[in-house]
Amino acid sequence: MKISSLHKVEKVRANVEGAKDVFRQVPISKRDGSPNFSFRVFTIEPNGHTPFHTHPFEHLNYVIEGHGSLVEEDGKELEVKKGDFVLILPDEKHQYRNRSPKDPFLIICAVPKEYE
């Protein structure tokens, strides 16, 4: 069993092409013995965004703070806010954007541990 406090987990800038002002924390992963999933937390700073991308696996998201938009492949933006859950299916092109000029946007992202 493991209990992690997010404020004690190292926060690292996501140096991924297409990302702007995104930081990543990994409070639970295969390094902790998790047999199936890794939980990552992404902090998207004001006016920041993740890359517009796809991947071959689903991921489950939960918004823990702030609000923003989820951009679909056709460019349509769906509003997401604190308390919302999101399922991104394999190969669905997507991007998260923080639309706030002053507040951070934090999401939990659960993925299969092989893709951590």
Q: What pLDDT shows up at residue 70?
A: 97
Residue 21 has pLDDT above 90, yes or no: yes
Residue 115 has pLDDT above 80, yes or no: no
| CB-based contacts of 11, cutoff 8 Å, min separation 6 | 23, 24, 25, 43
Q: What pLDDT shows up at residue 112?
A: 84
In this predicted model, what pLDDT tens digit does every residue of 22-66 receive, in sequence order? Answer: 999 999 999 999 999 999 999 999 999 999 999 999 999 999 999
| CB-based contacts of 25, cutoff 8 Å, min separation 6 | 6, 9, 10, 11, 12, 40, 41, 42, 43
In this predicted model, what pLDDT tens digit does every residue of 56-104 receive, in sequence order? Answer: 999 999 999 999 999 999 999 999 999 999 999 999 999 999 999 999 9
Give me the residue spans of the domains in the chain: 11-115
**Length in residues, the chain:** 116
- Cα torsion through 72, 78, 103, 5, rounded to 10: -80
11-115: CATH homologous superfamily? Jelly Rolls (2.60.120.10)
